[in-house]
Structure 1
Amino acid sequence: MDYQKTAKDILELVGGEANIQNVIHCMTRLRFNLKDNQIVDRKKIEKVPGVMGTNISGDQFQIIIGNDVPKVYQAILDNSSIKTEGNQKSGKSKNAISAIFDVISGTFTPILPAIAGAGMIKGLLAIAASMGWLTAESQVYVILNAIGDGAFYFLPILLAVSAARKFGSNVYVAAAIAAALLHPTITTLFSSGEKVAFLGLPVTAVTYASSVIPILLAIWLASYVENWIDRIIPSMFKLILVPTLTMLIIVPVTLIAVGPLGTIIGNMLSVGVGALFDNAGILAGAILGGTWSLIIMTGMHYAFLPVVMNNLTTKGYDVILPSMFMANMGQAGAAFGVALRSKNKTFKSLAMTTSITAVMGVTEPAMYGVNMRMKKPFIAALIGGAVGGAYYSAVGVKYYILGGNVGLPGIASFIGDTFLLAVLGLPIPFIVAAVVTYILSFTDVENEEEEEVVEEAAVANKEVGATVVTAETIYSPLKGEVKSLSEVNDATFSSEVMGKGISILPIEGEVVAPVSGTITTVFKTKHAIGITSENGAEILIHVGIDTVRLDGEHFTAHVKDGDIVKVGDPLLSFDMAAITAAGYDLITPIIVTNTGNYQTIKPLKDGLVNSKEAVLTLS
């Protein structure tokens, strides 16, 4: 790669140096804060040699480079007046809508695994009950129901902890505030039918179990109150007085004003959405089904979560998420249509694989890697989603359980009166999108580009075939829970554009060498390490998502570039509690960045894993 030319092309295509407020880089990406993202020519950037893709996260424009990112970054500095990382501040503040979306997404994302797991249990329990395997009176049913329902009943506590991390306040004080609102004596007091007052002020009876907006408002307010009290209280009294006064102020204020206001807002949103579907019917479903993919691209889908949760709590069902199923099936169908039509063997295989992945609920590879790249298939996917959404609205399909997956694994979420209609409708957007894709056709990937497609997927920092590799085993660098890359909340990793591998949710903050070899890169912020094994495998260990922003805080590196290590040697340590408290997701991708050099990369382990246990085999 000609780093100087790549850097010059990037500088020109992002709108010139005048459009750059700041640029930093992490282990794999250039991260730009730009004055105007709209003037960026993403299509041309993605064709620049060495660029493997682009992504927009919030207001940040990211260019995926891979292992060569430090060299491209340095070339950008050499060809501009930007002298050092972080020497410029982005004077750009988020607008109110962006800030609200950011809070909702940042709050819900960490708790989604708990909600998804609980929802799946409720779905399986519903199947067992409908098949007559269990009765609602059996003790097994009661216990399983408590497991599935617990996360939803005590949802305000989960949200309080997550919101406190987002707002930078004490998570345990936030949990205590939520627990007070859910205390049985408060619930009993509200259900008594008597008028309730606190110090002469009327308290409106509100059901806080499973609620969303009241606790978000309460913890947002608590973050300001706690910060204000912390500033005025002498240091020797902070430990006792700050949490005490915060709870004494926030809980009554929530009971008197914030809780009822949040409930009113939530109910109004639910009523508004319900009225839209009641009055617009098929049109509402078509619009939502046809635009879900666009909504997801902007991150605005998180704004629907409070409405969905309120619908499930107050009505027992939701009519919004069925349209998301339709949108996903549309993306899957469009990718399938590309697979049928394409003459390029490599791209045909890619399209078929991503179609299957999208059917299973993970749409990013199909949407970004195939349909948007070909343009017309993406339009076909939107059409398929609109037709499917119209059908679901017409027959009144309902979503009863928050199952955490909007693909075939989440079909249990439809178990209820409209289950059969839901199942019958799943193929509709798939078939429509596939047919429209086939009819509209597209400009196929030329055969001579096959090598380039493989190279992009491999994300190798050397040409495919330049390194001789042999089969080998990769050992776990962490103790934790093994998860698939699709569960990583970053499309760059989840879509496997960086390469294949696994992710681990750590339970200890120690990273050890997964192979014997040479340390190729210890990133300056110490959140990521690259290592090349003795057999040629290039491994990237990336601790957490967006942890580059911590600038090395809470990380300690035990190795440096060029060090020779053996399996199990300590590489770095990190403070899990501090990083989590700062609001960062600790899920850690372990990527084989020269994926293209291997025929198969096969995970060997599910569930809990100890460090130095075999987790991947390369052949």
Structure 2
Amino acid sequence: MRYSEVAERVIAAVGGVGNVSNAWHCMTRLRFDLKDAGKADLAALEAIPEVIGTNVQNGELQVVVGTEVEKYYEQLADQLGLADKAGDADGSGAKRGWVALAMDTVSGVFGPIVPAIAGAGMIKGLMAGLAALGVISNKNDTYLVIDMIASGVFTFLPFFVAASAAKIFKTNMFMAVAIAAAMQYPTMTAAAAAKEISAFMLFGIVPVPVFNYAGTVIPIIFSVFALSHIYRWVDRVLPRVLRTVFTPTFSLFIAGALALTVIGPIGIFLGNQLAAGVAWLFATSPILAGIIFGATRPIAVFTGLHHAETPIALQNFANRGWDNLMPMMFMANMAIAGATAAIYFKVRNKDQKTVVASAAVSGLLGITEPALFGVLAKYRRAFVAATIGSAIASTFFAVFGVRIYAYILSSIFSLPAYVGPYFPFALAGIAIAISTSFVLTLLLVPAEPAADATPVAEAAPQGSGGAKGDQVELVAVARGAFVPLEQVSDAVFASKTVGDGYALQPADGDVYAPVSGTVTVVFPTKHAIGLKTDDGVEVLVHLGIDTVSLKGEGFEVFCAPGDRVNPSTRIARVDLDSVRRAGKDPVILVLVTNLGKVSTVNEFDGADAALQRGDSVVSVSAAV
């Protein structure tokens, strides 16, 4: 599917163009602020083959699409007209708490610039390793030239942060970069290097503190935030005829003066306090520090808040020339890869093994979202194993004081950056992280039974829901009236955009599996359950229309990812009266979502026909 088509389906699934207040992306995720979160259909999103997973965090919808996120975002932004919304404020962020908003903002700002930081950091790490081994001298011209290529990103980091923050705060990007340029103008940097004065005097009375803003991030984020409000205020109060010239003039002067006199110094203070707090924790109890940062890293990546740690690491590099948080991130990635690799020996299906192997390799290379969303989200015990492995390895690093001297992507290829006194500990830490999470996963996660281990014919009632030759039958999941899919009230389902199958208006709330197979996903809102047959047919059971907004109220789920089910297995219960009182349609949809894997879907003939649980409704012919 082309990037534009994926973007179109994503927009439709989040409620349409009119429901999107803002959208941006990080390294692997499309991120949305929605006007009405209840209009987002997570099941429809999950049904898009290119979507690895979804997550809702503090009111922000995250759609994980992998490392090609920028290509998807380009099409998404074009279809949403985001380029035309730079000066449009909707204040949607005010709906979330200040702490959550700050974390989301930092994550959103750093996501797009991580490739530049990671690429430059990798070069710096490799050069540092070669210098430590004596392969090249750090006085060599070649070393100096390559160091310029790598260090430019970190020296002028405020420029990159300014451009990214301008998109988040919906203000003019070049005005934001102008603020960063003022903060790093040679007059300021030279004064900071000379250390002869502590402040300039603006108008002879207003002190402008002297700081070196190179490599800092918090001051420029706050400054661009202020610029976004100042620009809109100035543009609003000026007569229209004066705006073209004087809106940027007054905005730049006011925002620049505030950045240099108030916002920048406060940002420096906050950055230093954060770094000092982390340093205090490591100095007070390395074990506690390792446990805290190691155990929270996997869930931070899963919720999309992991970039919030980046400013602290960068502040450490700016203040001390080294950092001890990045090694913790390294250990977390290795633990995630180890737990994922163990799942390879637990699954039976060849397609699943391919997905798991790919995700494990991706984790070793520093990209953990495929492992987290594609594998560990389905096997919660494996996620726990990865968390334990990360905590143990990170504690090991903290106790032995492992540090790194350049920002670098936390992957197996970052090892050269550890060459030196900490290199043996880095090797030991990798072994601890991978082996601990791998072994724990093998112990905690039960193996899937062989394909012929479930006696479907004996266990299932009429309409086994199993394969007949090359066919898979979808049976009625409850007692009720058959509804042709085209007649359901949701246009996305009715158009079969999500998938093909049948709908059923239930007479009671007990819901059973429509097929024999494995539970692949249970949505946090309990309104949708994903299944996969041994033949690879993916089936979605969606309980009600627009019921994601009920946030689980009225739903009870009796299965979990990884469970084996058949049509005699009760998978959920719906409080039909509660759903109806909320103004929602309780119709149940049973859909085959990976239509590319099937050749035909033989539909049931008989609208409004009464169905009993287990009755054969739809048969699916597997593609040859």
> Aligned pair 1:105/2:107, yes or no?
yes
> Aligned pair 1:426/2:418, yes or no?
no
What residue is the counterpart of 2:251 in the other structure? 246
Q: 1:48 to 1:129 in 2, by over 3 A?
A: closer
> Aligned pair 1:319/2:335, yes or no?
no
What residue is the counterpart of 2:233 in the other structure? 228
Shift of 1:154: 0.6
1:107 aligns to what SS in structure 2? helix
Q: 1:262 to 1:433 in 2, by over 3 A?
A: same
What residue is the counterpart of 1:406 in the other structure? 410
What residue is the counterpart of 1:293 in the other structure? 298
- State the one-letter code of the partner of 1:193: E
What residue is the counterpart of 1:167 in the other structure? 169
Rg larger in 1 or in 2?
2
2:273 aligns to what SS in structure 1? helix
- State the one-letter code of the partner of 2:122: M
Q: 1:120 to 1:231 in 2, by over 3 A?
A: same
1:373 aligns to what SS in structure 2? coil
Task: Tell me the distance in 1 between the aligned counterparts of 2:179 and 2:41.
Answer: 48
1:375 to 377, 380, 386: 380
1:397 aligns to what SS in structure 2? coil
Aligned length in residues: 410
Task: Tell me the distance in 2 between the aligned counterparts of 1:224 and 1:285.
Answer: 40
> Aligned pair 1:339/2:341, yes or no?
no
1:435 to 428, 436, 439: 439
What residue is the counterpart of 1:308 in the other structure? 313
1:203 aligns to what SS in structure 2? strand
The answer on whether the counterparts of 2:188 and 2:212 sit within 8 Å (CA) in structure 1 is no
1:193 aligns to what SS in structure 2? coil
The answer on whether the counterparts of 2:126 and 2:417 sit within 8 Å (CA) in structure 1 is no
1:447 aligns to what SS in structure 2? coil
- State the one-letter code of the partner of 2:381: K
Unmatched tracts of structure 1, length 5 or more: 1-13, 15-20, 66-88, 451-464, 467-497, 499-592, 598-619
> Aligned pair 1:277/2:282, yes or no?
yes
1:55 aligns to what SS in structure 2? strand
* TM-score, structure 2 as length reference: 0.59
- The superposition leaves residues 68-121 of structure 1 with CA deviations (integer Å, 9 ceiling, x where unpaired) of xxxxxxxxxxxxxxxxxxxxx999922212221222122112211221221122
Shift of 1:274: 1.0
2:197 to 184, 194, 199: 194
The answer on whether the counterparts of 1:400 and 1:415 sit within 8 Å (CA) in structure 2 is no
The answer on whether the counterparts of 2:286 and 2:398 sit within 8 Å (CA) in structure 1 is yes
2:400 to 388, 395, 402: 395
The answer on whether the counterparts of 1:34 and 1:61 sit within 8 Å (CA) in structure 2 is no
- The superposition leaves residues 32-52 of structure 1 with CA deviations (integer Å, 9 ceiling, x where unpaired) of 969899xx999x999999998
What residue is the counterpart of 2:181 in the other structure? 179
Shift of 1:428: 0.8
Shift of 1:163: 1.1
- State the one-letter code of the partner of 2:243: K
Shift of 1:361: 1.5
Write out aligned runs for 1:83-102 (5 A). 93-102=95-104
Shift of 1:62: 7.7
What residue is the counterpart of 1:56 in the other structure? 55
* TM-score, structure 1 as length reference: 0.59
Q: 1:250 to 1:412 in 2, by over 3 A?
A: farther
2:174 aligns to what SS in structure 1? helix
Q: 1:342 to 1:166 in 2, by over 3 A?
A: closer
Aligned CA RMSD, in angstroms, stands at 4.0
- The superposition leaves residues 409-455 of structure 1 with CA deviations (integer Å, 9 ceiling, x where unpaired) of 233443454233112211211101111112223252652799xxxxx
Write out aligned runs for 1:260-275 (5 A). 260-275=265-280
The answer on whether the counterparts of 2:109 and 2:161 sit within 8 Å (CA) in structure 1 is yes
Shift of 1:63: 9.1
Task: Tell me the distance in 1 between the aligned counterparts of 2:373 and 2:251.
Answer: 46
Q: 1:35 to 1:169 in 2, by over 3 A?
A: closer
The answer on whether the counterparts of 1:401 and 1:414 sit within 8 Å (CA) in structure 2 is no
Unmatched tracts of structure 2, length 5 or more: 1-13, 24-29, 66-90, 455-469, 472-497, 499-593, 599-624
The answer on whether the counterparts of 1:374 and 1:442 sit within 8 Å (CA) in structure 2 is no
Task: Tell me the distance in 1 between the aligned counterparts of 2:156 and 2:362.
Answer: 32
- State the one-letter code of the partner of 1:315: R
What residue is the counterpart of 1:363 in the other structure? 368
Q: 1:409 to 1:345 in 2, by over 3 A?
A: same
1:206 aligns to what SS in structure 2? coil
The answer on whether the counterparts of 2:289 and 2:395 sit within 8 Å (CA) in structure 1 is yes
1:129 to 128, 131, 139: 131
The answer on whether the counterparts of 2:290 and 2:398 sit within 8 Å (CA) in structure 1 is yes
- State the one-letter code of the partner of 1:175: V
Q: 1:263 to 1:392 in 2, by over 3 A?
A: same
Task: Tell me the distance in 1 between the aligned counterparts of 2:371 and 2:381.
Answer: 13
Task: Tell me the distance in 1 between the aligned counterparts of 2:219 and 2:286.
Answer: 30
- State the one-letter code of the partner of 2:197: E
- The superposition leaves residues 170-222 of structure 1 with CA deviations (integer Å, 9 ceiling, x where unpaired) of 21121111111111122223435135311212222211111111111111111
Shift of 1:228: 1.2
- State the one-letter code of the partner of 2:423: F
Q: 1:137 to 1:322 in 2, by over 3 A?
A: closer
- State the one-letter code of the partner of 1:216: I
- The superposition leaves residues 534-578 of structure 1 with CA deviations (integer Å, 9 ceiling, x where unpaired) of xxxxxxxxxxxxxxxxxxxxxxxxxxxxxxxxxxxxxxxxxxxxx
My pick for the range that moved more, 220-229 or 123-132, is 123-132
